Structure 1
């Protein structure tokens, strides 16, 4: 009995020991395995990150090399253009030897440049840097010449070609030549040596067959590739081609090459402002091979030496660290989500206000247009004893129209009217409004008499100045003697570009570095009752005029906002004097759903002797046009009821009645942009009726 009991107890102990050994065995196998899997993952990510950095460095070098070559190309083309000026084919042919010698000196010492050529109006070779006299070569039917001539692009980069004379593999950059009247004179082309790029890429890759380097056009055409490409262009479904179509300036991606079907980590970059991209890739097979050997060695050491308990502790620590990282990421994500929700709510509120104000301003513009047209009819009829009242009404409608433009400016839907502006004169008129905005803050002005004019929308400039003044007033609220300084000066930068700089400074508390860094961000504000759009509007106003904005601030001393506008050069042509319009016999199809506006325009046109046919929808206009009825001009609103709006009508006219001009009129900036993209003349409401007369005088039926 006792022996039996001892046997059962021993069996139980052995079973427990066996279970413990199995558990220990399982732990000794599982824990190192989990550790190695974790180690393998992170080590692979490290190798992959190093490979991404390598690809990025290679693309940086390739981009820098391409930029240097293309900048040299630009310098040579510019010097050649300056050399030949507006000479015609015969004049260039007469100077062929002199030009050949000069171009040869331009290219000497630059192996990347195969040749420089000047092609005539018909595509005939007139001058070449390598050959004198030039052989009889004509590229008038070649795609790159036709594209440069017909599309009038600033620069056209050809696909890979074989040089017409030397038979070397090249690609060319072409720039159009025009005379002072804008007529086509020919093309200046610079042929770049593809072998030069190939040798550079070969040296850059150091013979590593895992590296791929390439230079591509915007349409995916392969200009240069190392190793050489068996196909001529990227496929349309390529990730790299999609990034190029999306106009991304740079990036990294993991993709399967559509050229050789190898998976690569690819870094791409656009080559400055040129229509080219460079890409550097590294094979994932090579990444795996670089990772595998050290991982295998570490695995062998760990499996041979690590102990179960130590491995378990390390694993636990890793788990705790991972959980802490997850909690941190969860907290950051929650914070980001709350900020995103707040920004979305603010955007919705601003969007509703924008729609309301823009539509109110649009309707007010229609009413003002109707009143203005009727007053112009009265003026055309010699006033009939109400001259003072008519002129007063016209002045009031002009002021109301300006108010409507301010409303649209606030909603960012203002159709811009850039015009040459003399800041000193403009400031003299705007200064009372500025002083009233910042009172009791004192305003000091320093504007020289010889300040250059610049071109800008006056309403946008006024809003920008008021926004800067309001910021200065808020920043100086605690200053005992607050002063707003408005200074202007002429500036010429290192590139000889000429700017008019308007500086608005305060002596307030200044900004911290963190606030300064975000000062131009939309919706960013440090004030409770502000939408945070003031400085962003100021920056947008400068950029829409071709300039930019800068901000300097010193804590405790004040802030200076500088607005840069490019100098406006007045045309050398003498101004055309206004003449009485003779539009008798002209026939206008007026498409306008607002009856008051239409009545005023019909009456005014009739007073000048023109016939006007009014329809209220674009659908009705298409019926008349489709019946074959002819008009001197089709003048249409954009937003109208019916199946077709004004843009649809204009597109139909361009496609079917190109000989008859069509002009659109609207009060929304978004419609102005779309219409101009289609190449259609568009005027913002309300517009000066004098704009119609050139169309009607020169094309009266």
Structure 2
């Protein structure tokens, strides 16, 4: 690898000439700069970029070890660039101390030659790269574990919170129905009830949206990917982005032609771009420039400076989002994607915007790079994998259970039989009604408050309900021969069997049984084979209204897609 720019810190002109001569014999047209004091050397290292530094141990104002201590980078665990210590005698204690505080190799001046210099440079750069990559890997591992822990916590909160919201939203929707019924006798009272129900629903829906944002930074949100042209997305968003940054900021868009397509969630992509725009606006209260650039990029297997999981090599679409604002303080750069971290004043930011972007990009198979200049601005480079034509358009594991991507309804052949044969099951199936009028529903729900509310909803819809708190209890009813038009089960439940396991067991002896699943959060606990097993079953996402429950029941009984 060629050396483009080299710094020699030595107060002896004869030594500087020797090093310059040797460098020119080894490298083609090297750019060599010189400093004759420690102070000058430190200033140049902190303000300019060099590929390598030759540092004399004895300087007029300080020794080389003191200089190394001054520029030592705590985050990297070494000096911020490859450094070779120059010494007249090669005293072991000096060399050891220099390497301990950041130098990568040393040269004895009397032994200086093109060959020894070339070997020292190669070794110093290799050792430096090794240390930097090791430190980055450690930091990425720590970040990944932290995000996983936050994700597990968020998932647990989301599950419980959605159950609470389910009761609130469900009862509010029942209030709406009661308001309609009361309208005939007392219009004023009915309007009061309706307004109260609307207030409850609005607040609960905001809570549901907050839960969704928590799952997004935990990389557990349900994505709905579609094949998109990034330039078309940006063109359609241009007016919205211009309004988001405000009149004082000039927005510029540089869109490369003939870019490959991407396969990502359009809503999450647009939300991410809008988040960048809002952050840019807040960073430039006096005005400035907000710039978005799209281009194709090839990611090398040894890609560096990325945030998130190590990117797979290959073609990506690079979306560069830049501003000329205040930039990010170096002390905060490693925290910008942490949930609830914000540099904004109290009340002006939740700290969820960039963490949501990070979660979406990672979940989409991409990664992010940050190019930051404190006081001058920042560039976020979002890399999203190119969609390969012919690649199967399937959703992520969590999305396969999403109601919006439910596949065509179908039945699975039985693999074994319990107390009933397929013929017996077909006779049961023949008794099923073509629609959802007056169904007998087996509801499997472990949360009592949710179960109580759902029973009221189902009764309001004209259905009879049998309630079980565990999948094992549900199996007892079915194995003893009880007939149900529909099994309506939560996905995540305590005990040996969850909702998916329950369906797999029932299908062994009742392959034609109708199922409807519901969940507030499923996480990544299910195997691909489990998700494929129930890919034909609709999943009603909590929290839901009575109208949504009615629609899903009707569609399930009629074998229709949602």
TM-score (norm 2): 0.46
Larger Rg: 1
Higher relative contact order (CA 8 A, sep 6+): 2
